A and B are shown apart, each in its own frame.
Chain A
Amino acid sequence: EVQILESGGDLVQPGGSLRLSCEVSGFTFTRHAMSWVRQAPGKGLQWVSSLSSSGISAYYADSVKGRFTVSRDLSENTLILQMNSLRADDTAMYFCARGLCRSDSCLWFLYDHWGRGTQVTVSS
Chain B
Amino acid sequence: EIVLTQSPGTLSLLPGERASLFCRASQSVDSANLAWYQQKPGQAPKLLIYDTSTRATGIPDRFSGSGSGTDFTLTVSRLEPEDFVIYYCQHYGSSVTFGGGTMVEIK
Q: Which residues of A contact B (CB under 8 A)?
A: 37, 44-47, 50, 95, 97, 100, 107-112, 114-117
Q: Do the beta carbons of A110 and B99 come within 8 Å of each other?
A: no
| B88 interface residue (CB < 8 Å to A) | yes
Q: Do the beta carbons of A44 and B44 come within 8 Å of each other?
A: no
Among A47, A110, A114, the residue within 8 A (CB) of B44 is A114
Closest to B96 in A: A109
In the complex with contacts A44-B99, A46-B98, A107-B47 CB distance below 8 A: no
Residues of A within 8 A of B96 (CB): 47, 50, 108-109
Q: Do the beta carbons of A44 and B101 come within 8 Å of each other?
A: yes
Q: Do the beta carbons of B97 and A47 come within 8 Å of each other?
A: yes
A97 to B101, CA, bound (A): 19
Residues of A within 8 A of B35 (CB): 110
Nearest CB in chain B: distance from A15 CB, A: 28
Nearest CB in chain A: distance from B97 CB, A: 7
In the A-B complex, the 5 residue pairs with the closest CB atoms: A114-B44, A109-B96, A109-B92, A45-B98, A47-B96
Residues of B within 8 A of A45 (CB): 37, 45, 88, 90, 98, 101
Q: Do the beta carbons of B50 and A115 come within 8 Å of each other?
A: no
Query: 0/1 per residue, B46-72, Cβ < 8 Å to A?
Result: 110010000011000000000000000
Closest to A117 in B: B44
| B100 interface residue (CB < 8 Å to A) | yes
